[in-house]
Amino acid sequence: MLPKRKTPSRDAPGAAHPEASYADALRQGLEQAMDLSDRVVVVGQLVDYAPGVFGSTTGLVERFGTERVRDFPVSESAMTALGIGAAVAGMRPVLVHHRLDFMLYSIDAIVNWLSLWRFKSNGASSAPVTIRAIVGRGWGQGPQHSKSLHAWFAHVPGLKVAMPATAFDAKGLLLESIFGEDPVIMIEHRSLFGLKDRVPEFPYRVRFGQAAVRRAGADLTLVGAGVMVPFALRVAAQLAEHRVEAEVIDLRTISPLDLETVLSSVEKTGRLAVLDPTWGSFGMAAEVISRVAERRRGSLRADPVRIAHPDSHTPMSSALEAVYYPEQSSVVERLRALVSGR
Amino acid sequence: MGTLTHEAILKAGLYESLSIADGEAGTAKSLHRFMLRLRQCEEALAREYHPADQMRCPVHFCVGQEAVPAALSLLLRDSDYLYSHHRSHGYYLAKHAPMPALFAELYGKQTGANAGLAGSQDISFPSRHFFSGAILAGATAISLGSAFAFQLRGTDQVAVAGFGESATDEGIFWETVNYAALAKLPLVLVCENNNYSVFSPQLKRQSLDNISERVRTFGITSAAIFGNDAMLVHRTLRDAIARARGGEGPTFVEAYTYRWSGHYGPASDDLVGYRAPEELEAWKRNCPIKLIEKALRAKSLLADAENERLLREISMEIEECFRFAKSSPFPPTPDWTALNLSSATPEADRLLADIDLGDFDAHQESTQAKGY
């Protein structure tokens, strides 16, 4: 039997910290936030039942009670408004949506009220509401359980948008959102919930607007967010077998967007592909590419590429899902062609 | 008057039930003074609005609808939260927010309540916990959250939302009523039923004109009252606010009233033909200020000299507000990012550890292996 591990210190290297899943990292973040401040409340459908929200709220109600871990009627619109009014009165609400698609009932509350609360009070009042929105994929989630509308929210001033790709970032960005002063939409991809990495047990922060270089490479820059980060890493690993070294940048948050990290990578590689887990048109990938073009057009040695879903709603059938979502080996082929100039 | 509806009120003609009971003289005089000040303020703004054209924002005047804000001005504490619809000036003054900053806001000036960013239909005064907005039922639903916060923290604060009957066309209004009732929140919902959504009357939009009855079926205390009787409005809201403060849950009050001006701007929009001239005349005979003045005079609580002194004081205050607003500077070009997002994170700085991310960012083998 292994000796009992000591709790690593705060400045211990990453590998010294225990492993946790993305779902458990979110749960830790919520639990620690509620411990740190009695202003933190978690509101959403079924948040007080044993399975929690895919494990991310499990155990909270036993510790904090149904007052602060609040099941809510299927009234997403009023739920978001409630979050705003509570935040304006000093609370730190976290709203949870099992699927982003249901959150669309609350677009008025988000766009007409939440996003401009700080603006229209000239900074005298703020509404730090954290909205967790989970996006599904696969197993026939179909057109009403799989939409990732991160670009919609990033388009609106006054909202921050986080798309954590790792368990470490999920916890750090969640805590940063809860205790930050701005409203945050946190897009969580359901298929990431089982991923594990090193997660410190204490409450820490991951700041907005600081991208991570997940893999270094000189031939090509791959920019992704959320679920496209592990995909990009797998693509990069396969490209390496063909002696193409891709640099993988995880944006972590798309609003604000860390352009500088992308620019310095593109200056080095001269090639850019942006992987966006949604439809291609008018989206995050287009935004990244146009910002690079505005600032470093001369650095680009090849036409930039968007890797995204077709401009179509998501099909249910597994046969169609297989051709709808970007497929690894065809993406690899496309990027090899980009690098070789074919 | 039987079941209260706009039709029943018109049929009943002149309202003669306003009463000032023993011990209510002070309240009556304060209500009168507030309504007079609000009326003068709105009429002065309306006179200046056109053709000067220096207030370049949509303004929804509340002439004729003074009673609800007047009652709230006497009943709410500084720590209570008040949310209003776009016809906001009465509510702004009900929270004792300063009149010069209201005027300057309409002129788009730096000294405005929101430095010219919000205007009349989105004005707020956060230090006095007053907020408003133009998208009908949105602010009503937001009041739910403040009431929720008060309940969680166990304070005796209350949240009050004022809105028009059109807000009850919206689904979110009924979601709000349901949750306020379910959670027994310290919330008072005041519906100023002025019968019109711009031009469209209630019965063209709703199958029945019985909002207060429908709300009652959700399990909350609900009342429909004649909303131009400021004394009655005051008594009703006093009880509602006391119930909320005492932890007895939410109350809905439907106060029937009438807007004298057009939907927005100072000019009449009656040329559209959406309401009969006799209807407006009937409501003007039931003017909330006239009704309370009559009762005050009957009790010898308002002498001509006093009324004239009051009017003079108010008119001097308004003149000073115009001078302040017109002489104030326009706002400078802002830092747009700073206007929309906070540049500081004091709570996160205080509570969260800053660690070196680089080491974690470089160790993502598990992500790579198990991704899907």
Structure confidence by residue, pLDDT tens digits, A303-336: 999 999 999 999 999 999 999 999 999 999 999 9
Best probe of the A interface among B125, B172, B174, B341, by most A CBs < 10 A, is B341
- Closest CA in chain A for residue B177: A78
DSSP class of residue B330 equals P
Residue pair B202/B184 in contact by the 8 Å Cβ criterion: no
What DSSP assignment string belongs to B270-297? GGG-SS-HHHHHHHHHT-HHHHHHHHHH
| CATH numbers and ranges of domains, chain A | 18-198 (3.40.50.970), 212-340 (3.40.50.920)
The three-state secondary structure class of A95 is strand
Kindly tell me if the per-residue pLDDT of B1 is higher than 50. no
Using one digit for the tens of pLDDT, what is the confidence trace for B13-47?
999 999 999 999 999 999 999 999 999 999 999 99
Residue pair A125/B124 in contact by the 8 Å Cβ criterion: yes
Using one digit for the tens of pLDDT, what is the confidence trace for A272-283?
999 999 999 999
Do A89 and B344 count as a contact with CB atoms less than 8 A apart? no
Q: With an 8 Å Cβ cutoff, is A144 touching chain B?
A: no
Higher pLDDT among residues B266 and A131, named by residue: A131
Average of per-residue pLDDT across A232-245: 97
φ, ψ (nearest 5 deg) of residue B106: -65, -30
How many of the other CB atoms lie within 10 Å of CB of B188?
Answer: 32
Average of per-residue pLDDT across B107-111: 98
Using one digit for the tens of pLDDT, what is the confidence trace for B296-333?
999 999 999 999 999 999 999 999 999 999 999 999 99
Please give the Cα distance from B201 to B197 (Å, whole number).
6
Catalytic residue among A17, A97, A145, A309: A145
Per-residue pLDDT at B173: 98
DSSP class of residue A315 equals P
Per-residue pLDDT at A230: 94
Among the listed residues B194, B199, B229, the one whose alpha carbon sits nearest the alpha carbon of residue B211: B194
Which residue among A72, A126, A230 places its CB closest to the CB of B367? Answer: A230
Higher pLDDT among residues A19 and B2, named by residue: A19
Per-residue pLDDT at B326: 98
- Closest CA in chain A for residue B359: A14
What are the C-alpha distances in Å from A166 to residues A21, A95, A132, A135? 9, 21, 15, 15
Per-residue pLDDT at A260: 98
pTM: 0.96
Distance (Å) from the alpha carbon of A268 to chain B's nearest alpha carbon: 19
Please give the Cα distance from B301 to B279 (Å, whole number).
31
Structure tokens at A161: 């948008």
The three-state secondary structure class of B193 is strand
A313 annotated active-site: no
| CATH numbers and ranges of domains, chain B | 6-343 (3.40.50.970)
Per-residue pLDDT at A5: 56
Q: What percent of chain B has pLDDT over 90?
A: 91
Per-residue pLDDT at B371: 34
Question: Please, which residues bridge with residue A223 across strands?
Answer: A249, A274
Residue pair B191/B168 in contact by the 8 Å Cβ criterion: yes
Among the listed residues B1, B8, B31, the one whose alpha carbon sits nearest the alpha carbon of residue B195: B8
Q: Chain-wide mean pLDDT for chain A?
A: 95
Best probe of the A interface among B355, B356, B359, B365, by most A CBs < 10 A, is B355
Per-residue pLDDT at A138: 86
Q: With an 8 Å Cβ cutoff, is A64 touching chain B?
A: no
Do B114 and A120 count as a contact with CB atoms less than 8 A apart? yes
Q: Is the dihedral of CA A72, A75, A81, A85 positive or negative?
A: negative
Residue pair A226/A277 in contact by the 8 Å Cβ criterion: yes
For B7, residues 6+ apart whose C-beta sits below 8 A from its C-beta are B209
Per-residue pLDDT at B358: 81
Kindly tell me if the per-residue pLDDT of A249 is higher than 80. yes
Per-residue pLDDT at B267: 85
Per-residue pLDDT at A10: 81
For A322, residues 6+ apart whose C-beta sits below 8 A from its C-beta are none
Please give the Cα distance from B8 to B47 (Å, whole number).
33
Q: Chain-wide mean pLDDT for chain B?
A: 95
Structure tokens at B311: 């009017």
Of B73-77, B276-280, B361-365, the one with minimum mean pLDDT is: B361-365
Among the listed residues B23, B77, B61, B63, the one whose alpha carbon sits nearest the alpha carbon of residue B245: B77
Per-residue pLDDT at B4: 96
Cis peptide before A256 (omega within 30 of 0): yes
Using one digit for the tens of pLDDT, what is the confidence trace for B148-173?
999 999 999 999 999 999 999 999 99
Using one digit for the tens of pLDDT, what is the confidence trace for A66-122?
999 999 999 999 999 999 999 999 999 999 999 999 999 999 999 999 999 999 999
Pairing state between β A40-44 and A92-97? parallel
Best probe of the A interface among B361, B363, B370, by most A CBs < 10 A, is B361
Residue pair A220/A269 in contact by the 8 Å Cβ criterion: yes
Pairing state between β B130-132 and B159-164? unpaired
Contacts of B363 in chain A (CB under 8 A): 14-15, 197-198
Using one digit for the tens of pLDDT, what is the confidence trace for B186-218?
999 999 999 999 999 999 999 999 999 999 999
Q: In this structure, which amino acid lies at residue A212?
A: A
Structure tokens at A137: 């994929």
Kindly tell me if the per-residue pLDDT of A290 is higher than 90. yes
Residue pair A86/A67 in contact by the 8 Å Cβ criterion: no
Examine the predicted complex and report whether its ipTM is higher than 0.90: yes
Kindly tell me if the per-residue pLDDT of A228 is higher than 60. yes
Please give the Cα distance from A139 to A44 (Å, whole number).
24
How many CB pairs lie under 8 A apart between chains A and B?
231
Per-residue pLDDT at B303: 95
Do B172 and A203 count as a contact with CB atoms less than 8 A apart? no
Among the listed residues B49, B357, B193, B303, the one whose alpha carbon sits nearest the alpha carbon of residue A206: B357
Using one digit for the tens of pLDDT, what is the confidence trace for B41-89?
999 999 999 888 999 999 999 999 999 999 999 999 999 999 999 999 9
Per-residue pLDDT at B372: 34
Q: In this structure, which amino acid lies at residue A130?
A: T
Sheet holding A92-97, edge to edge: A69-71, A40-44, A92-97, A130-135, A184-189, A160-162, A253-255
